């Protein structure tokens, strides 16, 4: 009886695996792109346009990376620098273009009218959205600052504003595309310091080597406004 019971368990487990594999036949897409749009709205908007694709949108770097390790998808939409440095088994198929450029530009917003890049010291706090993890973000900032500031990481763009309101940091580092968002949601008078033009691309769609993500690729190539607006771009190319 015991052996029959064990065989039944094995059969049920095997059936469950087969069912899972059958359900997972559709393309799987993960999205991790810090935006002013909350992740559930982003997921609903993308799902509404790419309805035949299984989509998961992540709001935190740690959650995204953990899921990538456990259950890698067919395709991902995220920051190209993250693909380049941490996901070597994915190849970029499309890049997002903003105002005729695939590169992103950053600015520093400060509530201090006297703030300049030269005023930053090793004791200065700079707030930024985490896209690479602690070590990755420290390396990322070296491209922009002659002196390494104290890094204050957050998961969402909206979480940066309290840093300035409560005088926790000297400034916050954001993409230039989000400047209007901060000006419209805060009564603070910002000092805006443009940073040197970045070498990093805005956003990319990448496909796992050996996998197929043709439905996603075709859907993104339609350049539907509902999806492009989520990433502050005009088109994928």
Domains of the chain: total: 2
- Among residues 103, 114, 108, the alpha carbon closest in space to that of 194 is found at 108
Q: How far apart are CA 169 and CA 110, in angstroms?
A: 8
Do residues 140 and 169 both lie within one domain? yes
19 within a domain of the structure (yes/no):
no
Domain that holds residue 97: 28-101+207-236
- Dist. CA 199–CA 196, nearest whole Å: 9
> Is residue 89 one of the residues assigned to a domain?
yes
pLDDT score recorded for residue 38: 87
117 and 93 together in one domain: no
Instruction: Please give the Cα distance from 201 to 105 (Å, whole number).
Output: 9
In a domain, 152, yes or no: yes
Rounded Cα distance between 151 and 132, Å, is 13
Q: How far apart are CA 34 and CA 129, in angstroms?
A: 7
Express each pLDDT in 155-203 by its tens digit.
Answer: 999 999 999 989 999 999 999 999 999 999 988 899 999 998 777 899 9
Based on the fold, state whether residues 110 and 186 are members of the same structural domain. Answer: yes
Long-range contacts of 223-227 (CB under 8 A, 24+ apart): 224/49, 226/45, 226/48, 226/49, 227/45, 227/46, 227/49, 227/50
- 130 CB-near residues (< 8 Å, 6+ apart): 60, 61, 137, 153, 154, 155
20 inside domain:
no
Q: Which residues pair with 90 in a beta bridge?
A: 208
Does 165 lie in the same domain as 137? yes
Identify whether residues 189 and 128 lie together within a single domain. yes
Q: Are both 39 and 110 inside the same structural domain?
A: no
pTM of the model: 0.86
Q: Residue 68 and residue 54: Cα distance in Å, rounded?
A: 15
Q: Classify residue 48: in a domain, yes or no.
A: yes
Q: For residue 4, is it within any domain?
A: no
**Shared domain check, 166 and 92:** no
Q: How far apart, in whole angstroms, are the C-alpha atoms of residue 196 and residue 206? A: 27
Which segment of 20-34, 58-72, 104-118, 182-196 scores lowest on mean pLDDT?
A: 20-34
Q: What is the CATH number of the domain that holds 117?
A: 3.40.190.10
Model confidence pLDDT, tens digit, residues 52-91 = 899 999 999 999 999 999 999 999 999 999 999 999 999 9
The widest CA-to-CA distance across the chain, in whole angstroms, is 81
């Amino acid at each position: 009886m015991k052996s029959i019971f064990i065989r039944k368990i094995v059969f049920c487990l095997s059936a469950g695996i087969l069912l899972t594999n059958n359900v997972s036949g559709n393309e799987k897409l993960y999205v991790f792109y810090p935006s002013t749009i909350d992740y559930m709205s982003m997921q609903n908007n993308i799902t509404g346009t790419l309805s035949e694709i299984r989509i998961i949108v992540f709001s935190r770097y740690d959650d995204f990376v953990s899921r990538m390790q456990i259950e890698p998808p067919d395709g991902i939409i995220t920051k190209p620098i993250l693909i380049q440095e941490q996901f070597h088994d994915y190849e970029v198929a499309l890049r997002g273009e903003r105002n005729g450029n695939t590169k992103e530009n950053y600015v520093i917003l400060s509530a201090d009218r006297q703030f300049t890049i030269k005023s930053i010291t090793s004791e200065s706090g700079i707030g930024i959205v985490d896209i690479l993890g602690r070590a990755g973000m420290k390396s990322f900032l070296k491209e922009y600052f002659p002196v390494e500031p104290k890094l204050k990481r957050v998961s969402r763009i909206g979480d940066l504003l309290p840093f300035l309101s409560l005088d926790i940091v000297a400034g916050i580092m954001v993409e230039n595309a989000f400047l209007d968002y901060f000006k419209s949601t805060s009564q603070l008078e910002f000092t805006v310091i443009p940073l040197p033009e970045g070498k990093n691309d805005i956003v990319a769609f990448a496909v796992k080597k050996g996998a197929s993500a043709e439905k996603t690729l075709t859907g993104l190539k339609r350049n539907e406004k509902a999806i492009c607006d989520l990433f502050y771009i005009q088109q994928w190319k």
